């Protein structure tokens, strides 16, 4: 029988060096645009090589190289090129927040962004987008209506109208249905309804009595519990999604609690407090234990009214809006 064809292994080639000659030769970056054709097709001396851009730019913090695509910055062995492509620092880009949308993979002096299961990397090599084909939308309250915004078409639709003063809302998604929960601080009630098409149906009261300005609301989609902040009573309460088994989870040592967010995967509950002397974000377990301050807002920004609160479940980060 004829011998099996042999394949030439691709040589290891660490950027900014690059492959040429059909991926059989690793060309050092210093050999680009040097007036000598090192690649068979001469691609290393084409395009913008004649411009000698490094002569006219001072963008690179350390070493500048002319390449066929323009100038390219590189760093000494002890430093790492940052995501801006021009700055060299001692810290690897993967050690800094914001280098990648989700996961950052470290490769010697460079990095590569990747995504969690269920997401794919976009062409900008930074953003991770869900592979779920479902239509994404945002639901919000303007006090008198709950509205939905289709994130593909940006069409806005009123889901329910003629509300009195709706402040907080959250959703509960299952394979069978999508349920919306919301508070009304004039009625002092918590409601829920099922999202059918582009409107809410089967509206019912979940918590009917004993409320005094419930301004924060969050659904535990794993334990099927409902948490809310009582701003006037300075406490956090919890009940089942139908309002049963209601109890006070945390009370006292609050000044002006507002927003609430949950990570039931890790068992964490977060809330904001507008305390004039110590505006902050606190955390405890979802059973109300191990309470601690996570962020003193006045110590990291010039803000004092931490209001909206949400969590990045992948990177385990807190985001908030200061009113």
Position 57 scores a pLDDT of: 84
Structure-token match 């009214």, residue found: 305
pLDDT tens for the 323 residues of the chain, in order: 555 555 667 778 877 888 888 888 999 999 999 999 999 999 999 989 999 999 988 899 999 999 999 999 999 988 998 888 899 999 999 988 888 999 999 877 778 899 999 999 998 889 999 998 888 889 999 999 999 999 889 999 999 999 999 999 999 999 889 999 999 999 999 999 999 988 899 999 999 999 989 999 999 999 999 999 998 899 999 999 999 999 999 998 999 999 999 999 999 999 999 998 999 999 999 999 999 999 999 998 887 899 899 999 988 999 999 98
Positive or negative, the CA dihedral 254, 257, 261, 264 is positive
241, 224 Cβ separation under 8 angstroms: yes
Cis peptide before 303 (omega within 30 of 0): no
> Closest Cα partner for 128 from 317, 262, 314?
314
Using CA atoms, how far residue 207 sits from 183, 190, 214, in Å, is 9, 5, 11
Q: How crowded is residue 200: how many other Cβ atoms within 10 Å of its Cβ?
A: 23
Return the structure tokens found at 201. Answer: 């149906």
Query: What CATH number does domain 137-322 carry, 3.40.50.11540, 2.30.30.100, 2.120.10.30, 3.40.718.10?
Result: 2.120.10.30
Q: How far is CA 56 from the centre of its chain?
A: 38
Q: Does domain 18-130 have CATH number 3.90.1150.10?
A: no
Are 165 and 186 in contact by the 8 Å Cβ rule? The answer is: yes
Q: Which helix (H) or strand (E) holds 210?
A: none
Nearest CA to 212 out of 187, 191, 194, 180 is that of 187
Q: Closest Cα to residue 64, out of 56, 49, 54?
A: 54
- Per-residue model confidence (pLDDT) at position 125: 85
Q: Where are the domains of the chain?
A: 18-130, 137-322
Return the pLDDT at 45.
92
What is the model's pTM?
Answer: 0.76
Place of tokens 């964490």: 268
Task: Give the per-residue pLDDT at 121.
Answer: 93
Instruction: Please tell me the distance from the alpha carbon of residue 284 to that of residue 36, in angstroms, as a whole number.
Output: 65
Separation CA 184–CA 167 (nearest Å)? 6
> Got the DSSP string for 94-108?
GGSTTSSSSEEEEET
* CB contact at 8 A, 152 and 167: no
Name the pairing type of β-strands 137-141 and 280-285: unpaired
Which of 239, 237, 277, 232 is closest to 256 using CA atoms? 232
Q: What 3-state DSSP class applies to 43?
A: helix
- Residues 259/229, Cβ–Cβ less than 8 Å: yes
């Amino acid at each position: 029988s004829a011998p099996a064809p042999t394949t030439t292994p691709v040589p290891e080639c660490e950027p900014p060096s690059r492959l040429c000659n059909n991926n059989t030769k690793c060309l050092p970056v210093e050999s680009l645009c040097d007036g000598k054709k090192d690649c068979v097709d001469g691609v290393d001396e084409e395009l913008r090589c004649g411009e000698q851009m490094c002569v006219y730019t001072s963008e690179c913090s350390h070493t500048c190289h002319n390449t066929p695509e323009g100038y390219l910055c590189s760093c000494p062995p002890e430093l790492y090129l940052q995501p801006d492509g021009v700055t060299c620092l001692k810290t690897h880009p993967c050690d800094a927040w914001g280098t990648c949308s989700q996961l950052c993979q470290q490769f010697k002096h460079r990095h590569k962004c990747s995504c969690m299961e269920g997401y794919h990397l976009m062409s900008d090599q930074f953003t991770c987008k869900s592979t779920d084909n479902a239509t994404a939308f945002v639901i919000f309250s303007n006090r008198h209506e709950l509205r939905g915004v289709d994130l593909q078409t940006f069409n806005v639709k009123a889901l329910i109208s003629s509300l009195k003063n709706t402040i907080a809302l959250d959703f509960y998604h299952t394979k069978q249905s999508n349920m919306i929960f919301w508070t009304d601080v004039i009625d002092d009630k918590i409601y829920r309804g099922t999202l059918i098409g582009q409107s809410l149906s089967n509206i019912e009261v979940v918590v009917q009595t004993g409320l005094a300005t419930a301004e924060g609301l969050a659904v535990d989609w794993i334990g099927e519990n409902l948490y809310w902040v009582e701003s006037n009573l300075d406490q956090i309460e919890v009940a089942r999604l139908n309002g049963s088994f209601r109890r006070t989870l945390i009370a006292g040592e609050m000044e002006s609690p507002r927003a609430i967010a949950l990570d039931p995967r890790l068992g964490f509950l977060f809330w904001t407090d507008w305390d004039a002397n110590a505006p902050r974000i606190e955390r405890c377990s979802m059973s109300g234990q191990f309470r601690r301050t996570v962020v003193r807002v006045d110590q990291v920004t010039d803000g004092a009214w931490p209001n909206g609160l949400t969590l990045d479940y992948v990177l385990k980060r807190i985001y908030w809006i200061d009113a």
